[in-house]
């Protein structure tokens, strides 16, 4: 699959995503564009479901930026009931 490194770098710069996260964003955009170009895609419900799934995944990337850039305000979203973050789990 061809990748546009300049576009990935631009996504990272524009959004605050890491290069890996921008890579995911790039492929989500490609998947959305490819899905929208499918012939015979007439089922509105499936289109809405796909678009909502796309938006949810993009939102997950945005939450990573918020958590990283503003952990004092948005980091609490990621704490479990014992006050542990997912990063704490990785360090164990």
pLDDT of residue 73: 76
Domain with 36 in it? 5-91
Over residues 8-61, the pLDDT tens digits come to 999 999 999 999 999 999 999 999 999 888 887 678 888 889 999 999 999 999
Instruction: Provide the pLDDT confidence category of residue 86 given band limits of 50, 70 and 90.
Output: low
Q: Structure tokens of 30?
A: 């490609």
pLDDT of residue 67: 86
- Separation between Cα atoms, residue 50 and residue 63, nearest integer Å: 20
Q: To which residue do tokens 């990063």 refer?
A: 87
Q: Report how many domains make up the chain.
A: 1
pLDDT at 84 over 80: no
Q: CB-side exposure of 26: number of CA atoms within 13 Å?
A: 21
């Amino acid at each position: 699959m061809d990748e546009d490194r300049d576009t990935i770098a631009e996504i990272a710069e524009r959004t605050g995503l890491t290069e890996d996260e921008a890579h995911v964003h790039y492929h989500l955009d490609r998947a959305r564009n490819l899905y929208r170009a499918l012939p015979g895609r007439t089922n509105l419900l499936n289109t809405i479901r796909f678009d909502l799934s796309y938006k949810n995944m993009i939102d997950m990337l945005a939450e990573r930026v918020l958590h990283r850039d503003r952990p004092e305000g948005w980091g609490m979203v990621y704490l479990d009931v014992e006050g542990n973050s997912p990063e704490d789990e990785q360090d164990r």
